[in-house]
Chains A and B, each alone.
Chain A
Amino acid sequence: MTAFNTILLIPVLPLAAFLLIALVGRRYFPRYSGIFGSLVLLVTFAIALQEAYSYFFETEKIAGSYQSFVCCRLNWLEFSPGFSIDMGLLIDANSMLMCVIVTFISLLVHIYSLGYMKGDPRVATYYSFLGLFTFSMLGLVLSCNIFQMYIFWELVGVSSFLLIGYYYTKDSAVAAAKKAFIVTRFADLGFLLGILILSYYTKTFDFQTLIGRAGDSSFMGSLAAQSFMGVSVLTWGLVLVFAGGAGKSAMFPLHIWLPDAMEGPTPVSALIHAATMVVAGVYLVLRLFPVFVFGSPAALHLVAGVGVFTALFAACIACTQTDIKRVLAYSTISQIGFMMFSLGVSGYGSEAGLGYTASMFHLFTHAIFKALLFLGAGAVIHYIHSNEMGDMGGLRKHMPITHMSFLLACLAISGIPPFAGFFSKEEILLAAWHYSPLVYGLALLTSGITAFYMFRLYYSIFWNKSRDNQSAHGQAEHHGEAPVSMLIPLVLLALLSAVAGFIPFGHLISSDGKVLESEFHVGFSVAPVLIAIGGIVFATILYKKENLKPQTITASLKGLYTSAYRKFYIDEIYLFITRKIIFQLVGRPAAWFDKTVVDGSVNGLASLTAAVSERIKGLQSGKLQDYALYFLSAVAGCILLFYYLWI
């Protein structure tokens, strides 16, 4: 398959951009590094698009399904014959699609940042970090084995850390970067343990081999027999791997880092914390999906449960937040919850695999409209210089293009036909319906809440208060609409959110690679659309005009509102666990041991040496005659010694 060797360029070009900007560009062409980075990304996107086209439409399908193969394979660490860690690029429908999404969103964010980050003194550093992130993310989606994926997994973690802490003079940004790093690292511990368990029992790191062995029932049967604490080892491994994915994808209870990650520049939030990196967990489960299905349905049930709970939980919090980026962050968590449980409810094979296709479809559409929402929010923040809803309102006349694109994205995420979100959410709900009515009910409720909080956000930004009185003092001469470089991505993404739903996704992605004809039940979609419209109407009544109704409702739901506003006290629980339990019971004794035993022995040795030298340093008095006396007595001593020993 030599035709695909140019695929190597896809991750390598952003890496080259990163190195060049970081090593040379920051000093010699800081002003042009943004344009340079964007051009490199444009080329990368063109290559990705061309490769994806040739994969989907020109490569022959075998037995009606897309083939997956590995190119540029490199034998890296060989433990024993047949058991090695290889490096390579795995090409299949998922990775090709992800390549296109990642390079596309990254390209738009690069272009958008030309306007958004204009005048920032460290803009070259910013672009180098973007290049590093794009490289790592592309490496992650193209990884051919689980260990290679883990390496890139950590790399995206690092670039996310760097970009969250980009405004490193702000204390809250530094704290958020640390929080994101520590929480995801904690989850990655689970991932690493999961990798070790999986590879120990299945004797392979390679995705294809792993999946091949997952289909082998006798092999799986022998694995299922081995168990630990009443649960089979395979389930343990998969649950731990899922814990890693849950950390990166901000699933409950590891979601706490994502809202704080909004301290980074807004385009970064769009790229990393909405469209690409946070779906890495979904992608990981997707990669190991056959192993989940055949090896451990229990782990898959866990995925479904965690996903649907997170979706509902985050949606409730999103209704009460006032920072627009935080609303979007919780909305992201909620939507990733949708993708996750969609995988959890899916089965393998033609019809049962609907959830699998739906998950990837939702990932695709969500990347588009959520990036649009974030970029739109970025344009608003660029204008207002504030993240708070209270400072906004009535912006629809001031920034018409942003307003239209934002409205489109809100309609798309709410699931109003014919926009992108409708189709993907519809498939997810259908898959959930086949799984259990409870999950379906919760998902339906969540999509209603989604419509409500998205339109609460929309009205708070663009309607509600009138802005005319404020334009009197100073806002008038302020620029209204964002610069062109920021509008181009908005318009492009808005067009895509309108039409992306019509892509026959089942033809591209399905659990077994065969074409999945998604049938469209008009009757089925009545309920979700109605509940979404209900949410929108409710939000319209409450927030379109400035009124007292929201306060009245808030007052009547005091306890519930406060706890949702405080994010259900999850942060406080974490603080309690870390401060009161871990610090007291583990940290304190460890610190005591370190200070007294470890430091004590080293310090004791030092003070012993000091004391001895204090005693004997008087011998070196500086007096010549003392030295002569020592010399003489030593010679006399030697003579006596010789005399008694040898004579």
Chain B
Amino acid sequence: MTEPGLIHVLVISTALFFIGIYGFLTRRNMISMLMSVELILNSVNLNFIAFNKYLYADRLDGVFFIVFNIAIAAAEAAVAIAIIINLYRKHRSIDIEQADSLKY
């Protein structure tokens, strides 16, 4: 059993990214959409780790980026949930189809 290479990790992160995109476009529940966004973010994190490990093993830049990303993701989740709660108060629902007042 051989050590997995860069390509394997990239395949996984790409799959994760598109799963996230798919979920973001198809889920009607805003919490599910938020989870999809987290998937996309994590696929990016995985990319950073992979490039750091396989291409620049002597450096730590990629890891630092991930730490930042996780912090930002946490903040983003807090903001998103606040928005969702407010929308829920207004519409009594967290269905994204109901929140369509941002139009012409």
Contacts and interface: CB of A to CB of B under 8 A. Distances in A.
Interface of A: 617, 620-625, 628-629, 632
Contact of B24 (A620, A623, A628): A628
A623 B25 CA distance: 11
B3 interface: no
A629 B25 CA distance: 7
B74 interface: no
Given A620-B104, A625-B96, 16 more contacts: A617-B104, A620-B103, A621-B100, A621-B103, A622-B101, A622-B102, A623-B100, A624-B96, A624-B99, A624-B102, A625-B24, A625-B26, A628-B24, A629-B25, A632-B21, A632-B25
A623 B104 contact: no
Nearest to B99: A624
A624 B52 CA distance: 34
B97 interface: yes
A625 B102 contact: no
A556 to B, nearest CB: 83
Describe A's contact surface by its main secondary structure: helix
Interface string B16-53: 00000100111000000000000000000000000000
Contacts of B104: 617, 620, 622
24 contacts: A617-B104, A620-B103, A620-B104, A621-B100, A621-B103, A622-B100, A622-B101, A622-B102, A622-B103, A622-B104, A623-B97, A623-B100, A623-B103, A624-B96, A624-B99, A624-B102, A625-B25, A625-B26, A625-B96, A628-B24, A628-B25, A629-B25, A632-B21, A632-B25
7 shortest interchain CB distances as A-B pairs = A622-B103, A622-B100, A622-B102, A617-B104, A620-B104, A623-B100, A620-B103
Please indicate which of the listed interface residues A623, A624, A632 has the most CB atoms of chain B within 10 Å of its own CB.
Answer: A624
Contacts of B25: 625, 628-629, 632
Given A628-B24, A628-B25, A629-B25, A623 B101 contact: no
Contacts of B24: 625, 628
A625 B97 CA distance: 9
Interface of B: 21, 24-26, 96-97, 99-104
A622 B101 CA distance: 6
A623 B21 contact: no
Contacts of A624: 96, 99, 102
Nearest to B24: A628
Nearest to B101: A622
A621 B104 CA distance: 7
B104 to A, nearest CB: 5
B103 to A, nearest CB: 3
Contacts of A620: 103-104
A623 B24 CA distance: 12
Contacts of A621: 100, 103
B38 to A, nearest CB: 15
A629 to B, nearest CB: 6
A622 B103 CA distance: 4
A153 B21 CA distance: 81
B18 to A, nearest CB: 10
Contact of B96 (A617, A623, A629, A632): A623
B30 to A, nearest CB: 9
A624 B25 CA distance: 9
A456 B84 CA distance: 97
Contacts of A617: 104
A621 B96 CA distance: 12
Nearest to B26: A625
Please indicate which of the listed interface residues A617, A620, A622 has the most CB atoms of chain B within 10 Å of its own CB.
Answer: A622
A631 to B, nearest CB: 10
Nearest to A618: B104
A10 B99 CA distance: 78
A620 to B, nearest CB: 5
A624 B96 CA distance: 7
Contacts of B97: 623
A370 B38 CA distance: 100
Contacts of B21: 632
A172 to B, nearest CB: 54
Contacts of B99: 624
Nearest to A624: B96
A641 to B, nearest CB: 20
Nearest to A629: B25
A625 B102 CA distance: 12
A123 B13 CA distance: 91
A622 B87 CA distance: 14
A634 to B, nearest CB: 14
A620 B101 CA distance: 10
A612 to B, nearest CB: 14
Contacts of A622: 100-104
A625 B30 CA distance: 11
A145 B29 CA distance: 87
A435 B24 CA distance: 107
Contacts of A629: 25
Contacts of B26: 625
A626 to B, nearest CB: 9
Nearest to B103: A622
B44 to A, nearest CB: 15
A175 B22 CA distance: 77
Nearest to A617: B104
A623 B95 CA distance: 11
A457 to B, nearest CB: 76
B86 to A, nearest CB: 15
